[in-house]
A and B are shown apart, each in its own frame.
Chain A
């Protein structure tokens, strides 16, 4: 019963490096999203997807790319890492059944950019 799986759990990058944060869900949910959490600021939406092949920008999309080629996977790419991208990143998936929607979160990826 995996739910939402994020890898890696921890990562240190040098400024200018690129990397991909992985997110996979096994619940066949349509909707997936990426958030970053900074101290005292709650979670801010980076990008989201309402289904395979469909993505859209959230509140803070600059410096990040996403794609959704399958229902299960929603990777987040940092194109050229900057210290301002040091944060904890959470992936979430949601389902809607009638009028009910519920979100499930991964355990997070703690990223440090030096």
Chain B
């Protein structure tokens, strides 16, 4: 059974810091891995999608890497801003469209 773990569960940093969020998964037979952002009381917004054959994806200040063989992904946020405060969720698709989520990392960026 696939299990997705995100570390840390919560993180508080001052504005301007570079930070790394971690995601690990137990079964490396994944189709893709997606990072989402969730604001309080809101739905999920897709940030980055990495196919199983890819190693990383970048969008603006965000960079996500994938090491499928070791079951790990990281989300790197450069020059963090208070507007980055949210919960970040990692999700792996097992194929057949079945997607399993981690519990998320709650990020707070202090001005």
The residues of A with any CB-CB pair to B shorter than 8 Å are 30-31, 33, 35, 40-45, 48, 50, 58-59, 90, 92, 94, 96, 99-108
* Cβ contact within 8 Å between A104 and B31: no
How far is A30 from B32 in the complex, measured between Cα atoms in Å?
17
* Cβ contact within 8 Å between A41 and B34: no
* Whole-angstrom distance between the Cβ of B104 and the nearest chain A Cβ: 6
Q: Counting CB contacts under 8 A, is B13 at the interface?
A: no
Interface residue count on the B side (C-beta < 8 Å): 28
How far is A108 from B42 in the complex, measured between Cα atoms in Å?
7
How far is A106 from B103 in the complex, measured between Cα atoms in Å?
18
Q: What B residues does A104 contact at CB under 8 A?
A: 46
How far is A103 from B93 in the complex, measured between Cα atoms in Å?
10
